[in-house]
Structure 1
Amino acid sequence: MRYILILFFTVWSFILKSQIRLDDFEIIKKNEFGQAIDLSSYLPKGYSISGDKDYTKYLQKGLDENLIVCMPNFPILVNSNGLKLRSNQKVLFQPNSKLVLIGNNLERYSILEILNVSNVKVYFPKIQGDKHYHLSSSGQWGMGISIIKSSNIYIQEPYIESCWGDGIYLGNKDGKNVENVTILGGVISDSRRNGISITSANNVLIKNVYIKNTGGHSPEAGLDIEPNSSNYLLKNINLVNINTENNKGYGVVISTGLYSGSRNRFSINIDGLKDIRSDIGLAFILTKGNFSRYRENISGTITINNFYSANNRKAKFRNFSGQSHSVDLRGDFYKTLQSVDFPKEMLMNNIKINKSFIVK
């Protein structure tokens, strides 16, 4: 009972901290957006503030013509083209700003696209996807925010809900990785595939993010670290004070099978992960099964400190068996597995530390 109360107050304080604080908003607006263009000035005369009109082309024109902008202070419908940001752009979502996606039948889309650009800052983005009114059943790539082959990207306190694919996606294109990405605070809820996916990145910090209620298409994780190719890069990936709750698959899953044969060592650091009521709080799927395509070595380091998980439907932690690889598991995680928080029967039934790991 004591652990449940601690977790309740931790999550509740997390939610409270994740709300837009008007004083923080006013400071950022004053310091960084004093000369900003309010994109409502690009809307047609007599525009609606009820979130019932598609103003995608007007917002995009404003973004194309201005580097420092404020979103209109009311909800706006956007179509499947989404909005595309430029290098050196700063975008401020005001307290009542919100992008609401019109339902579509596409397998992939990005509501806010950050593609092949650098030096972008987005503050308080509020985004709603079409998970509950998507017009087909195919695909899994409808993203709230996609960050692809871009560098020096800063996202503060995103509020993203009900995306057909992921709330936020970090990935590679044309052989170019994501570099230097920071995501601070915010809530990502009700994503169909993952709250956040990291497939290829170098130097990432994700801190104080709360991810909940993911479900609808595998892997259904709060946060999924999963390269799509051995040519991708997972270096210096840092998760700090992450809360996950009620995700149908996992709170956090590290799935590195397609990294097989890579010359790059991956490095993933987790400090402070708290999960409640996800199927599995934390999972390692290095090479699930003994598939021949995973024969080539996978090497890397996973450092985990301060992990806590409770009321999971299947397991607090699970390491799926598979091929043996050169992966070091470090930090206080192994001690945590043997503590009173993991009763012996839970340890024996749900955990198999196999040759995939060198426990240090």
Structure 2
Amino acid sequence: MTTRRGRVRMSALVLVFFVVSSIAGLAADRPGPNPKAVEEVLAGQRSEANAAWWGFDPEDSTEYLQAAINSGASRVIIPNMGQDWIVRPIFLRSNLELVLEDGTVVTAKKGEYHGKRDSVFTAQDVENLIIRGYGATIRMHKEDYAAPPYEKAEWRMGINIRGAKNVEILGLTIRDTGGDGIYLGRGTWRLHNENIVIRDVIADNNYRQGISVITVKDLLIENSVFKNTGGTNPMAGIDFEPNHRDEILQNIVVRNCVFENNKGPGIVLALANLDRWAKVSFFFENV
């Protein structure tokens, strides 16, 4: 006859086996290096790629992630590896959907980002870009950048968009940056951003702004949260502030957004740098 102590021991063994099996199963489900799949992507035989096919290094995965983005795949997935993707600045391209899986964290590598404008993701003069990350996070190390050996700056962004067209940023949490969660500025050969959607985003504990909008035509920001901004002025949830007379702020909609615990205003409209004849248009709803 089985004793009570025996039943307890058996239950404990079953529980341990279940936990170990579950952990092993999760590890087995995670993708790893796959040279054949990489070869097929580079040959144009696959339109979707997984960044882990190139590799994953818990100390620095920059080269792997950048290679996946540069591969030409129209859709690149950054999988949840159970550890952060530690990266130096990453550069995006046109005609790309970048998908961060639920639970994925892309983290700025400590000790890097010494350039005043070093950002986690930069997209300059690109078009047709989607960054999708429901349940995923991009984070930096805000406190590090405020002290030596870092030179004081306010432009270390989570996502740095410059002169881009047809861009969507969806579902991400962007936090602890050394500048703005998202920046929309002028590019090199395309001066203005156009047709930008920012939806279901959380911008938390960023240094300067949740979002800075410098120049854009057709911008929708909706269903997003901007909170705990603080570090350098204006410390706003969203700051609309052109730098030059030839920049534009046209057809802008901010809808169903929450602003909380920012050290500055929820929304700033600083338009003094625009030409006096500039046409601006904003629509704010439920903010």
TM tier, shorter chain? 0.7 to 0.9
Q: Matched residue of 2:143: which SS? A: coil
Match of 2:91 among 76, 84, 95: 84
8 A Cα contact 2:47 2:74, kept in partner: no
Deviation at 1:262, TM superposition (A): 4.3
8 A Cα contact 2:242 2:273, kept in partner: yes
Amino acid at match of 1:102: K
State the 4+ residue runs in structure 1 displaced beyond 3 angstroms.
Answer: none
Match of 2:156 among 142, 156, 167: 142
Amino acid at match of 2:171: E
| Structure 1 segment 204-283 matched on structure 2, within 5 A | 204-259=219-274, 261-273=275-287
Name the CA distance, whole Å, in 2 between partners of 1:137 and 1:117: 29
The equivalent residue for 1:40 is 52
Is 1:115 matched up with 2:150?
no
8 A Cα contact 2:108 2:139, kept in partner: yes
Is 1:167 matched up with 2:167?
no
Who wins on radius of gyration, i.e. which is larger? Answer: 2
Name the CA distance, whole Å, in 2 between partners of 1:216 and 1:228: 20
- CA displacement, residues 9-50 of structure 1 (integer Å, 9 cap, x when unaligned): xxxxxxxxxxxxxxxxxxxxxxxxx9521110101xxx45xx
Deviation at 1:154, TM superposition (A): 0.9
Match of 1:71 among 58, 75, 78: 78
Amino acid at match of 1:269: F
8 A Cα contact 1:114 1:148, kept in partner: yes
The equivalent residue for 1:328 is none
Name the CA distance, whole Å, in 1 between partners of 2:75 and 2:115: 30
8 A Cα contact 1:231 1:262, kept in partner: no
8 A Cα contact 2:87 2:109, kept in partner: yes
8 A Cα contact 2:186 2:215, kept in partner: yes
8 A Cα contact 2:124 2:187, kept in partner: no
Match of 1:197 among 207, 212, 237: 212
- CA displacement, residues 187-246 of structure 1 (integer Å, 9 cap, x when unaligned): 110000000010100000000110100000111001101111111010011100110100
Q: Matched residue of 1:61: which SS? A: helix
Q: Matched residue of 1:231: which SS? A: coil
Q: CA RMSD in A?
A: 1.6
Name the CA distance, whole Å, in 1 between partners of 2:151 and 2:68: 33
Structure 2 unaligned blocks of 5 or more: 1-45
Q: Percent identity?
A: 29
Match of 1:129 among 140, 158, 169: 140
Deviation at 1:96, TM superposition (A): 2.3
Which structure carries more strand by proportion? 1
Deviation at 1:100, TM superposition (A): 0.4
CA shift in 2, pair 1:263/1:202, >3 Å: same
- CA displacement, residues 127-163 of structure 1 (integer Å, 9 cap, x when unaligned): 0012022242511100000111010001111210000
**Per chain length, whose mean CA-contact separation is higher, i.e. which structure has more relative contact order (CA < 8 Å, sep 6+)?**
2
8 A Cα contact 2:154 2:232, kept in partner: yes
Deviation at 1:94, TM superposition (A): 0.5
Q: Matched residue of 1:142: which SS? A: coil
8 A Cα contact 2:185 2:213, kept in partner: yes
Name the CA distance, whole Å, in 1 between partners of 2:139 and 2:53: 23
Q: TM-score, normalised by structure 1?
A: 0.62
Aligned length: 231
Is 1:61 matched up with 2:95?
no
- CA displacement, residues 300-324 of structure 1 (integer Å, 9 cap, x when unaligned): xxxxxxxxxxxxxxxxxxxxxxxxx
Name the CA distance, whole Å, in 1 between partners of 2:259 and 2:132: 22
Q: Matched residue of 1:121: which SS? A: strand
Deviation at 1:271, TM superposition (A): 0.7
Name the CA distance, whole Å, in 1 between partners of 2:276 and 2:213: 17
Q: Matched residue of 1:109: which SS? A: coil
Amino acid at match of 1:130: H
